[in-house]
Structure 1
Amino acid sequence: MEFNLSQLSNATPHRITVIGGGAGGLELAVCLGKKLGKKGKATITLVDAARTHLWKPLLHQVAAGTMDSHVDEIEYLALARDYHFRFRLGRMDGLNREKKEVYLAPTYDEDGQEILPRQAIGYDTLVIAIGSQTNDFGTPGVRERSIMLDSPDAAERFHQRLINSCLRAQARPRPNGEHFTVTIIGGGATGVELSAELHMTAKAISSYGLANFDPEKDIRIVIVEASPRLLNVLPERLSNAVTHELHGLHIETHTNERVTEVTQEGVKMASGKFIPSDIVVWAAGIKVPDFMKNLDGLETNRINQLVVQRTLQTTRDSSVFAMGDCAACPRDDGKSTVPPRAQSAHQEAKMLAKSFVRMLEGKPLLEFTYRDRGSLVSLGDYSAVGSLMGSIARGSVFIEGTIAKWMYWTLHKQHQITVNGLFHTILGTLAETIDLTRPRIKLH
C-alpha cells in the first residue's frame, strides 16, 4: 500500500508520533530526531507510560539483583532534549483514525493523585511500538499468584520478594529438608536466563553473612516447560547445551508439562505433578494488550498483534505503522511472520528511519526483510551459548563459553550506542568498570 503523499503538508512540519519507548520505538525516535527533527523537516513525538527506558532483555538480571535498574535506566526527557524529539508521558488506550488522534489514559502517582489528565495527541504518521506482555492463556491463579516478568516494576517486585525470603530464612530456619522453591513457568530465554541468575544470586547472598541460609541446600529452582525441550524455538544443539549447563547447577527442568493452575501452595500440572512453590514466575508466551484487539477497526491476529504489510503499514490504514512485538509482519516467504525478538525491533527501527526520510522526499517506502543473526542465551557468570547466522558463514555457527558471553554483552552495548552514541556509551562502561563501591548484587 503506497503512502498518500497528499497527506504531507509543506506549511508545517510533518508530525510523526511513536507510541512506545522500548528497544525499537526509542531507537526509531532517536534516529528520526537526528535525521528529521534536528533539521526541522518533521516533528517527532515519543510517547511512553514510563519515564525511563530499560532494555527488556535485562529484566531477568534486575529480578535476580545482579543489576540495579536505576544504574542502567535512560531518561526519556534527557534523550528528547539531546536528540531533537519530544517526549510525552502516558499510556495509549484509544485511537481515532479519522481525526488522526491517539488517546492517552490519565496518569496517577503512587498515592492515586492525578498527574496528567486524559490526553489527545495528533499525528500525520503514527508508529505503534508498544511491545508485548506475558500471556497467561487463561490459566487459573496465574494473575493472582505469580509474577509476570515483563516490566521493570515486576522485576523489582520479584527481587524484593526474593530478598525478603532470604532474610526470613536467616531469622527462622526451615525444617531439615524443606526448600525455598522458585518455580519458573516457561523454558524460553527469559526463564532459562532467570534461573541461572538466581543460582548466582543465592550464592552471593550467602556470602553476606546469612548464618542460617545455605544456597545449595535451602533454595530449589525449577523450570516448567510445556514443549518437549527448553528453548524450543531455537536450534536443538543450543537447547541441549543449555539444559546440560542448568543441570550442572542443580536446576530442575520439567518438560512436556502443561500447567493447569497456580495455587497458594504451588503449581499444578496436567500430568498430576505438583510443585510446592514459594515464588512463581510466569514467563510462558506473549500477547499484545487487549485494547489493541478493537483499535478503531485495524486488523489484528489472535494475540492482538496489528497485521502489517512488509512496509510495516497496517493493512487498513497507510498512515498507521506498527513494529516490534505488537506487529505481525510477513516474512519474505509469506508463510510465517517476523519473530517477536529484540533483533527484529532493532532491524525494523533502522528500516523505518530510512523509509520516513524517503517518504518526506516523495519516494516509495522500503519493504522489510528480516535477517536472523542467530541467538544468544546468557547463564550469568557461569557461561553463555549461542548460534550465529548471516555474514559469518552459511548456515549457523555454534558458540559457547567466553566468546558467547562477550557477544551477549556486546548486544546490550550496541543498543546503548544506537541510543546514547559511542562516546557516552564508552564513558558509561568505564564508570561501571571502576565503580568498586557497589555490591555484587543489589541487597535492597
Structure 2
Amino acid sequence: MTETRTPRIVVVGGGAGGLELVTKLGDKLGRKGQAQVVLVDRLPTHIWKPLLHEVAAGSMDPNTHQLEYAAQARWHHFEFQLGELTGIDRIRKTISVSASFDEDGAELLPARELPYDTLVLAIGCVTHFFGVPGAAENAIALDVVAQAERFRKRLIAACVRAQNWRGRVGADGRPRVDVAIIGAGATGVELSAELRNTAHVLSAYGLHQLDPRRDVHIHVIEAGPRILPALSERVSVETAKLLKKLDVDVLTSERVTEVTPQAVLTASGKHIDADLTVWAAGITAPPVLATLGLPVSRQGQIVVGPTLQSEGDPDIFAFGDCASCPWAEKQTTVPPRAQAAHQQATFLYSALRARLDGRPLPSFAFKDLGSLVSLGHFSAVGSLMGGLIGGSMFIEGLMARVMYTSLYRMHVMALHGAVGMALDTVSHWLRRKTSPRVKLH
C-alpha cells in the first residue's frame, strides 16, 4: 500500500462471509473513498448456501431469495467483477480471472487481471465424491442453485412418470419413486425431511396420485455409525427418531462403492434402487487453491494464522470453508460452518481497518454457538452453546425452528440492515400467503 493512491481490497468469493465483508467494507470505507473494495465471484447472484436443500425440495423459490451482486455493489459502494479465480501473481500483486459466458456460450467478459493491495480469499468449498465410481456422473450435488433446481425438476418428473406407470413398480404392485441421499450430515438429513413434505404437497396439488409415504421412498445412506456425525450423539439420536416417524429409511455403516443411473451399491452388498441420487457425503477445497503457491492443509485449504493471514503471504487473507484456521481452545481447526464465516467476516472488517491505519492486527477467536438441524415443517433439533447458558443445552421443536430461522435473518440483516431485514421478512410472509407451498414448475 502507498500513500499516493487509494488502497485496493479485493475479496474473491461472494458466499455468506465474503458478501457480508464487502458490504461492510463498502459502507464504511468505499463510501468515504478510504479504500476501493472489489468483489469477484463466478456467479452473478448470491443465495445463502444452507438454503439449497429447500430449493432442491421445492419448498423455496430461489428467485425470491437470490441477491444480485451488481445491485448490492451499487447500494453499498463496492465494485463487482464477474469471473472465476484462476491464479495469483504475488510479485505483481494481481489475480487472474476467467472469461464469463452467457447461456448460449457467447463471451460476456474476457479473461483479465485485477490488481490488489490486500487480497481476501473466501471461495468456499466444493462437493467431494471421494473417487466413488459413477458418483460425479449419476449423483446430483447441491453446491449451486442450478443443481438444486435440476434435482427439483427431476423429482417432479419422476412422480408424474410413476403415477402414469412409466417408472418402477414395487413388490406390492404399486408404482414407486426412490430417492437416495448419500451422506447423513446436516444437508442430507435436512433434505430428507423437506422431501417428505414435498411428496405430500405435490400430491395435494394433484401433480401425482401416489401415496406420499407408501409410494415415495427416501433413503439416507451414511458410511459412519450414526447420522449427523459432526454433532452431539443426543442430537443424532433424536433426529434419527424424527426421521423414522417421517418414514425415512436411514442406513448407517453403509459405505457407497458405486452409483449407477438407477441404483446405489454399498460395500456390504446392498443394492438400493434410486430414481434420483443426491451426493451430500463430504466437501473439499476448490482445486485452484493448490495452484496458488500458498501453503495448504491436507484438505487443500489455505493455511492461515490467528490473524487470518496466509502463512505464505501477509497481503493475502483467507477465511470460511477455504481456510484452515487454528482453533486454539479445541486444539483443532475452525469447523466449516456458516456461523464461523459470519464471525470471521466481522473480525476481518476490524482487522483490515487496523491494517489500513498501520495498527497491529488482532487475533481471531472462534466462539461455538452450537448447531441446529431443520426438519422443515415437522421439527428442528440442535444444541446451543455459550456463556449465556453456561455450557450446552439441547433444544427441539418450535424453539429450535425459531432459532434456525433467526440464523438466516441475521445474514439478511448483515446485508441490508435491520429495516431491510424486517421488510424482507414481511414480504416473504406475504408471498407465502399467495404462492403454492412448493414450486411446481
Question: TM-score scaled by structure 2?
Answer: 0.97
Aligned position for 1:9? 2
SS, match of residue 417 in structure 1: helix
Counterpart position of 1:5: none
Alpha-carbon spacing, 1:367–1:211, altered in 2? closer, same or farther (3 Å) = closer
Alignment of 1:368-387 (within 5 A): 368-387=364-383
Q: Is the 8 A contact 2:262 2:276 kept in 1?
A: no
Contact 2:202 2:208 in 1 (8 A): no
1:350-384 C-alpha deviation (Å, 9 max, x unpaired) = 00000111111110111111100000100000000
Q: Distance in 2 between matches of 1:61 and 1:411?
A: 15
Per the alignment, residue 280 of structure 2 pairs with 283
What SS does the corresponding residue of 1:18 show, helix, strand or coil? strand
* Of 169-178 and 47-56, the range deviating more from structure 2: 169-178
Give the letter for the 2:370 counterpart.
G
- What is the Cα deviation at residue 339 of structure 1? 0.4
> What CA distance in whole angstroms lies between the structure 1 residues aligned with 2:261 and 2:425?
43
- Is contact 1:106-1:116 (8 Å) kept? yes
> What whole-Å deviation, never above 9, does each CA across 1:152-195 have from its counterpart, x for those lacking one?
11111111111111222233365324531100000000000000
For residues 269-318 of structure 1, the C-alpha deviation after alignment (integer angstroms, 9 at most, x for no partner) is: 111111011111000111111121121x1011222110111111110100
What is the CA–CA distance in structure 2 between the aligned matches of 1:434 and 1:395, rounded to whole Å? Answer: 38
| Distance in 1 of aligned mates of 2:408 and 2:309 | 28
The letter of the residue matching 1:93 is: T
- Aligned-pair distance for 1:252? 0.6
Task: Quote the residue 2:65 is aligned against.
Answer: 72
User: Counterpart of 1:190?
Assistant: 187
Per-residue CA deviation, residues 4-50 of structure 1 (Å, 9 max, x unaligned), is xxxx2111111000000000000000111112111111100001111
Alignment of 1:356 onto 2:352: yes
1:124-159 CA-to-partner distances (Å, cap 9, x unmatched) read 000000000110011110110000111111111111
- Local SS of the residue matching 1:213: coil
Please tell me whether residue 149 in structure 1 is matched to residue 147 in structure 2. Answer: no
Give me the identity figure in percent: 50
Residue equivalent to 1:83: 76
**Runs (5+) with no aligned partner, structure 2:** none
1:52 and 1:243 map into 2 onto residues whose CA distance is 35
Letter in 2 for 1:36: L
Native 8 Å contact 2:21 2:345 kept in 1: yes
1:413 corresponds in structure 2 to 409
Alpha-carbon contact 2:159-2:208 (below 8 Å) kept: no
> Is the Cα–Cα contact under 8 Å of residues 314 and 322 in structure 1 kept in the other structure?
yes
Q: May I ask how many residue pairs the two structures share in their alignment?
A: 436
Residue 119 of structure 1 deviates from its aligned partner by: 1.2
- The reply to whether residue 229 of structure 1 matches residue 226 of structure 2 is yes
1:47 to 40, 49, 63: 40
Choose the corresponding residue for 2:253, options 252, 256, 259: 256
Q: How does 1:117-266 map to 2 (within 5 A)?
A: 117-172=110-165, 175=169, 176-210=173-207, 212-266=209-263
> 1:315-394 maps to which residues of 2 (within 5 A)?
315-333=311-329, 335-394=331-390
| One-letter amino acid of the counterpart of residue 314, structure 2 | S
Structure 1 residue 211: deviation in Å? 5.3
Residue 51 of structure 2: aligned partner:
58
Q: Distance in 2 between matches of 1:138 and 1:274?
A: 19
- In the other structure, the counterpart of 1:314 is 310
One of 272, 275, 278 as aligned partner of 2:269: 272
Q: In structure 2, what residue type is equivalent to 1:106?
A: A
Rounded Cα–Cα distance in structure 2 between residues aligned with 1:258 and 1:345:
30
Secondary structure at the counterpart of residue 374 of structure 2? strand
Aligned to 2:393: 397
Q: How does 1:11-26 map to 2 (within 5 A)?
A: 11-26=4-19
Where does structure 1 differ by over 6 angstroms across 4 or more consecutive aligned residues?
none
Structure 1 unaligned segments of length 5 or more: list them.
Answer: 1-7
Aligned to 2:93: 100
1:432 CA drift (Å): 1.4
Q: Does the 8 Å CA contact 2:163/2:175 hold for their aligned counterparts?
A: no
Equivalent position amino acid for 1:51 in 2? P
SS at match of 2:387: coil
C-alpha contact 2:256 2:265 (8 A) present in aligned 1: yes
Aligned equivalents of 2:316, 2:419: Cα separation in 1: 34
Q: Answer whether contact 2:12 2:85 (CA < 8 A) is retained.
A: yes
State the Cα distance separating 1:264 from its structure 2 match.
2.2
